[in-house]
Amino acid sequence: MTDWIAVDWGTSRLRAWAMGADGSVLQAAQSDMGMGALTPAGFETALLEVAGEWIEGPTRVVACGMVGAKQGWVDAGYAVAPCKPPMGAHAVEAPVKDDRLKVFILPGVSQQRPADVMRGEETQVAGFLAQQPGFDGVICLPGTHTKWVQISAGEIVSFRSFMTGELFALLSGQSVLRHGLDGDGWDEEAFDAGVADGLQRPQFLTSDLFGIRAEGLLNDMAPAAARARLSGLLIGAELAGSKSYWLGQQLAFIGAPELAGAYQRALKAQAAIGDRTDAEAMTLAGLCAANDALG
């Protein structure tokens, strides 16, 4: 029987899990009713469409992600770093019509200098720390806006975001580079060379990007090499900017296998290594910790 419902609600997707009293996942469902597709009035309906049949009586829902943004269900605000990842006590209750529901939304984390925000990743960090409470080092969360998070004594000390994933999507899908990137092959050597160039000379990034197009026109660079080089250049430039986060640090990665694997490979060439844990598992662990804290 469903004890509570865990929800990871991002800009483009809603994922929900029916949770047992012992923290086990009973059922999972998802929809494309992300925050970006909804007006405030639409969130409750979207949730019930996905999770409605799990609800038999009064049920708590604990959610994280863009659902707590200004344009979300309710503005859950931000905890300000340095801080512990927001827990249940910081959750904001969302207005509902169906009185069986009690919906708690976790805040994000903000930082004033340099100005930065996260919303969703803090819950993955909370889940990671619930499993490894003694971790002291840096967590890298590769994604649309990759985050580097310095952890000490259970707190988010500081963090920095890079637009690497979104730039890859825009450049590979909509820029002049798209002409040379057809298919889905991957060339490890071209990736490694791209990382090296991006890391050693980030000042040439926006020129090296155009160079991918020129290599395609002049030297028939293969699409698999072009795509891997594009990814490598962007990740390499990110590593140049995030050096203080990974050089000589205890590292951990939270993310999807393929993308996190690319970061692990790029950093291994710099003798920086760390283990990967799964993003969805960490989100669930963080939501479980928040649910426990709500009592």
CB closer to its own copies out of 84 and 243 = 243
Min separation Cβ 30 and its own copies, Å:
22
- Contact characters 24-53, its own copies, x per CB under 8 A: ------------------------------
- Check binding of 215 to its own copies (CB under 8 A): yes
Scanning 17-25, 54-62, 238-246, 258-266 for contacts with its own copies by CB under 8 A, the matching segment is 238-246
The 10 Å Cβ neighbour count of residue 273 is 11
- Check binding of 176 to its own copies (CB under 8 A): yes
- Check binding of 213 to its own copies (CB under 8 A): yes
- Check binding of 160 to its own copies (CB under 8 A): yes
- Check binding of 222 to its own copies (CB under 8 A): no
How many Å apart are CA 126 and CA 23, to the nearest integer? 16
How many Å apart are CA 145 and CA 118, to the nearest integer? 9
Q: Which of 90, 145, 229, 276 binds its own copies (CB under 8 A)?
A: 145
* Residues 76 to 105 in contact with its own copies, rule: CB under 8 A: 78
How many Å apart are CA 85 and CA 129, to the nearest integer? 9
- Check binding of 116 to its own copies (CB under 8 A): yes
